[in-house]
Amino acid sequence: MELIKIYECLCDRTRLRLLNVLAQGPVCVCHFQDVLGEPQVKISKHLAYLRERGLVESERQGNWVIYALPKKPSRELKANLACLQDCTRENAVFKRDLARLKKIEPSCAWVRAGEPENAPGQCRC
């Protein structure tokens, strides 16, 4: 039952925040640290947890790693991500995360635009 693996991913606050941010588009790990204000280990381990269960995909771009929601999400995943979006829309923490993301966005627009060939050697976040 894949559904249960999805719910297991969703029952942690940090992971919900990660998924909420990812709903806006691909994000690299250093962004997550800034946006969530959580230590690197924590971010990294929760992203690994999500990746192992197929809720996110990752791709290395030079020195850093970009995470994104699956290109081909299952019906169940799609439904639950939509539901999550719906449930968090008005939540302060989630809104704050998105606001912080927006501030960072301009400096790393290439990540979100999917233009890795423009990647600088060092992350400017």
Positions touching DNA (CB under 7 A) are 8, 11-14, 28-30, 33, 39-42, 44-49, 58, 60, 62-65, 120-123, 125
Q: In what order do the strands lie in the sheet with 27-28?
A: 27-28, 64-68, 57-61
- Among DNA, its own copies, none, the one that 24 touches (CB under a kind-dependent 5 to 8 A) is none
Helix extents (H) in the chain: 2-10, 13-22, 29-32, 40-52, 75-88, 92-104, 109-113
Alpha carbon of 46 to those of 87, 106, 109, 120, 122: distances in Å?
21, 26, 24, 26, 24
- Among its own copies, DNA, none, the one that 7 touches (CB under a kind-dependent 5 to 8 A) is its own copies
Residues 10-39 that bind its own copies (CB under 8 A): 10-13, 16
Task: Specify the 3-state DSSP secondary structure of 64.
Answer: strand
For its own copies, the closer CB: 5 or 112: 5
* Backbone angles phi and psi of 60, in degrees to 5: -80, 135
- Among DNA, its own copies, none, the one that 88 touches (CB under a kind-dependent 5 to 8 A) is its own copies
For DNA, the closer CB: 60 or 75: 60
Alpha carbon of 106 to those of 39, 62, 120: distances in Å?
23, 20, 14
Contact flags string 59-88 toward its own copies, x per CB under 8 A: ----------------xx--xx-xxx-xxx
Which chain residues interact with its own copies by CB under 8 A?
Answer: 1, 3-4, 7-8, 10-13, 16, 75-76, 79-80, 82-84, 86-88, 91, 93
